[in-house]
Amino acid sequence: MEYAIKSGSPEKQRSACLVAGVHESRKLTPAARALDNASDRFLSNLLRRGDMDGKVGQSLLLHNVPGIFADRLLLVGCGKQADLDDRKYRKIIANSVKQVKQTGATEAASFLPGLEVKGRTFHWKIQNAVHFIDQELYQFKEFKSKTIEPKKSLRKITLMLPSRRELLQCESALSRGIALAEGVKLTRDLANRPANACTPVHLADQAVELGKQFPAVDVNVLDEDEMKDLGMNSLLSVSQGSALPAKLIVFRYQGAGDDDKPVVLVGKGVTFDTGGISIKPSSAMDEMKFDMCGAASVFGAVAAVAGMGLPVNLVGLTPAVENMPSGTATKPGDIFTSMSGQTIEVLNTDAEGRLILCDALTYSEQFEPAAVIDIATLTGACVVALGKHATGLLSNHDPLAAELLKAGEIAGDRAWQLPLWEEYEKQLESPFADMANIGGREAGTITAACFLSKFTRKFHWAHLDIAGTAWVSGKNKCATGRPVPLLVQYLTRHCEK
Ligand code: BES
Ligand code: MN
Ligand code: ZN
């Protein structure tokens, strides 16, 4: 999709489809009012007859509106002006593109960014309009043999602004919105690919491609021998049952000065999680191709940040492995020495995410990070606790947690904090090693984070458990691209300070 911004009066736009809002009850937005004036009250007469009330979700497509230059006019319900918050704005935008797409117009000009959204600037409205529209139109068709593309399909959306003054401040919002949308799309595409296509080697190849696309992004891929030399036995214990070699992908983006400490993102990249010898039940096991969504979100965040050219230093680490049962697989009870020197008794080979993350977290020490954030589809318990609406957040540094929570609010990609108290650590005790890799039935998300916290003592760290938010199940099964919007918002704020 092509996006543009422009200012100008609605009645003068030569567009295949204009989009304007109507508030409840039948209150015209300024754009709709201008069209009403130009058309000799055509719109208010229609509304008075009861064709549309202005509730969110409603829309009305009009042809041949007199006195205006556009081929069509789509009126979109925007609810009560006073209730217009982020969520409603998102709904209204998404609803409008769904309708526009059905008209057959190849191009549209939308006045919806002119809506007043509680506490939000034009910059926010433009950046998010692009992102929401892209999210709404996303389709994953790489593996469909026949793609039936309608001859006429929507190709360009112009976001209309009330005046030239907004135009200036919105140039950067537009390009940031596009960069964010592209990052989210990359995350979703990688995650949606099946595990026979999206292997650790595939992720490594895609990382190299990303490095070519963005000269400011440096990519280095460590192979198993290099990881062995570093002592990453915990990470390697997960892939030892797989026929596919493990990779550790390292992205480096230098957007700020050399003295600026980087933010490090660490993403769980299990390209398929069978559970290993502690094998999973077969129902819905296909969804474990999504067990690399943490890694995919690091790709997406790196792409978005590089696309925006944010003045921040960013390191992305994605350990990529496949968790399989086989004659060479780890057995319950096996003990490994992690890169940190701490020993781990693997009581359940299905608790593999923490085993790859812990070595990647230790590896991140060398970057002297300002903060380390790991992102992982780590625990089914997180889905039980928070469902699909909030990402689980745990941290050893409350100010960092607060910033991430705030970023999630602004980006419409929310997280919810869970406690990381010492009391929980007892659950990880092992009679044979320094720790076990599971903590029993209670508080599974917290004990998983407790395990990781033993490898993050030297820096400020937060953990995002995206088991519930990274994809949706059911008939429209699809990766969501979360928490890329949260991460990018956090990084945007981070470099403003
Ligand atoms: N990748 C899974 C977590 C998961 C399960 C995410 C279902 C989304 C949906 C993870 O590797 C896992 O298997 N975790 C175990 C941990 C347990 C063995 C302590 C779990 O949650 O059951
Ligand atoms: Mn598992
Ligand atoms: Zn897993």
Q: CA 435, 399, 442 angle in degrees (round to 5)?
A: 35
Q: Are 231 and 339 in contact (CB under 8 A)?
A: yes
Q: Minimal CA–CA distance to 314: which of 354, 256, 356?
A: 256
Residue 415 Cα to ligand 3 midpoint, Å, equals 20
Q: Are 483 and 391 in contact (CB under 8 A)?
A: yes
Which residues, in sequence order, are CB contacts of 326 under 8 Å at separation 6+? Answer: 241, 242, 243
Residue 353 Cα to ligand 2 midpoint, Å, equals 6
| pLDDT for residue 168 | 86
> Ligand 1 pocket by C-beta < 6 Å: which residues?
273, 291, 348, 350-353, 377-381, 383, 438, 444, 467
How does DSSP classify residue 459? S
| pLDDT for residue 152 | 80
Q: Is 48 helix (H, G, I), strand (E, B) or coil?
A: helix
Whether the bond into 319 is cis, omega within 30 of 0: no
* C-alpha–C-alpha distance, residues 140 and 186, integer Å: 11
Phi, psi for 459 (deg, rounded to 5): -150, 165
Number of the ligand closest to the Cα of 379: 1
Is position 331 annotated as part of the catalytic site? no
Measured on CA atoms in the order 444, 450, 455, 456, is the torsion positive or negative? Answer: positive
Q: Are 462 and 470 in contact (CB under 8 A)?
A: no
| pLDDT for residue 497 | 80
List the catalytic residue out of 26, 88, 91, 280.
280
Domains of the chain, with CATH numbers? 2-163 (3.40.220.10), 179-495 (3.40.630.10)
Q: Minimal CA–CA distance to 296: which of 383, 168, 183?
A: 183
**Atom 8 in ligand 1: residue holding the nearest Cα:** 467
Q: Hunting for tokens 């689980």 — which residue is that? A: 392
Number of the ligand closest to the Cα of 385: 1
Q: What is the model's pTM?
A: 0.98
| pLDDT for residue 433 | 99
Return the ligand 1 atom nearest residue 352 CA: 11
Kind plus residue range of the DSSP H or E element containing 398: helix 398-411
Residue 486 Cα to ligand 2 midpoint, Å, equals 25
**Atom 7 in ligand 1: residue holding the nearest Cα:** 380
Q: Is 254 helix (H, G, I), strand (E, B) or coil?
A: strand
**Atom 22 in ligand 1: residue holding the nearest Cα:** 380
Return the ligand 1 atom nearest residue 444 CA: 19
Q: What is the CA radius of gyration of the chain?
A: 25
**Atom 17 in ligand 1: residue holding the nearest Cα:** 351
Return the ligand 1 atom nearest residue 348 CA: 18
Residue 341 Cα to ligand 1 midpoint, Å, equals 25
Is position 90 annotated as part of the catalytic site? no
Q: Is 312 helix (H, G, I), strand (E, B) or coil?
A: coil
**Atom 13 in ligand 1: residue holding the nearest Cα:** 350
Tell me the pLDDT of the chain (497 aa) as tens digits: 999 999 999 999 999 999 999 999 999 999 999 999 999 999 999 999 999 999 999 999 999 999 999 999 999 999 999 999 999 999 999 999 999 999 999 999 999 999 999 999 999 999 999 999 999 999 999 999 987 776 789 999 999 999 999 998 899 999 999 999 999 999 999 999 999 999 999 999 999 999 999 999 999 999 999 999 999 999 999 999 999 999 999 999 999 999 999 999 999 999 999 999 999 999 999 999 999 999 999 999 999 999 999 999 999 999 999 999 999 999 999 999 999 999 999 999 999 999 999 999 999 999 999 999 999 999 999 999 999 999 999 999 999 999 999 999 999 999 999 999 999 999 999 999 999 999 999 999 999 999 999 999 999 999 999 999 999 999 999 999 999 999 999 999 999 88
List the catalytic residue out of 90, 125, 185, 354.
354
* C-alpha–C-alpha distance, residues 257 and 399, integer Å: 24
| pLDDT for residue 207 | 99
Return the ligand 1 atom nearest residue 437 CA: 19
Which residues, in sequence order, are CB contacts of 291 under 8 Å at separation 6+? Answer: 268, 270, 271, 272, 273, 323, 353, 377
Measured on CA atoms in the order 255, 259, 260, 265, is the torsion positive or negative? Answer: positive
**Atom 16 in ligand 1: residue holding the nearest Cα:** 351
* C-alpha–C-alpha distance, residues 289 and 140, integer Å: 15
Q: Torsion-angle region of residue 218: left (phi > 0), alpha (psi -120 to 50) or beta?
A: beta
Phi, psi for 298 (deg, rounded to 5): -70, -45
Residue 379 Cα to ligand 2 midpoint, Å, equals 8
Residue 152 Cα to ligand 3 midpoint, Å, equals 42
Q: Which of 324, 350, 352, 437 to mutate to test the pocket of ligand 1 (most atoms within 8 A of CB)?
A: 350
Q: Torsion-angle region of residue 276: left (phi > 0), alpha (psi -120 to 50) or beta?
A: left
Number of the ligand closest to the Cα of 377: 1
| pLDDT for residue 461 | 99
**Atom 6 in ligand 1: residue holding the nearest Cα:** 467
Residue 325 Cα to ligand 2 midpoint, Å, equals 12
